[in-house]
Amino acid sequence: MTLIEQIQHQARQLPPDKQREALDFITFLQQRVSQPASNTAKRKERLKKAFATLAELRTFAEITDPVEWQRRNREDRSMPGRDS
């Protein structure tokens, strides 16, 4: 039995919602493999520029304790999938 046949066999045994999840994962893997390195480099450069702009604008200058700031912000809203 070839690898593709094994995958098909295993997928047929899953419920439809899990088959969809497996297909989503395969699509994710295909995108990772087909994404050229230049796109990754471009993305990194855009992120660097965005962070530099945030630093220039002093966007988070009023935050003296990042851990406390995060804790305080998380207290204000419920987290999906978690009991409060």
Read off the pLDDT of residues 26-40 as tens digits, 9 standing for 90 and up: 999 988 887 777 778
In a domain, 4, yes or no: no
pLDDT at 76 over 70: no
Domain that includes residue 59, residue range:
34-75
Instruction: Outline where the chain has alpha helix (H).
Output: 3-12, 16-34, 37-57, 66-75
Please provide the average confidence, as pLDDT, over all residues in the chain.
87
8 lies in a domain? no
Q: What pLDDT is recorded for position 50? A: 95
Provide the pLDDT for residue 83: 66
**In terms of pLDDT, which residue wins out, 19 or 79?**
19
Report the b/e string of 10-40 with b at 16+ CB within 10 A: eeeeeeeeeeeeeeeeeeeeeeeeeeeeeee
Number of domains in the chain: 1
**Per the domain annotation, does 26 fall within a domain?**
no
Asked if residue 61 belongs to a domain, the reply is yes
Any domain includes 82? no
Indicate whether 21 belongs to any domain.
no
Q: What is the pLDDT of residues 4-31, one digit of tens each?
A: 999 999 999 999 999 999 999 999 998 8
For residue 20, is it within any domain?
Answer: no
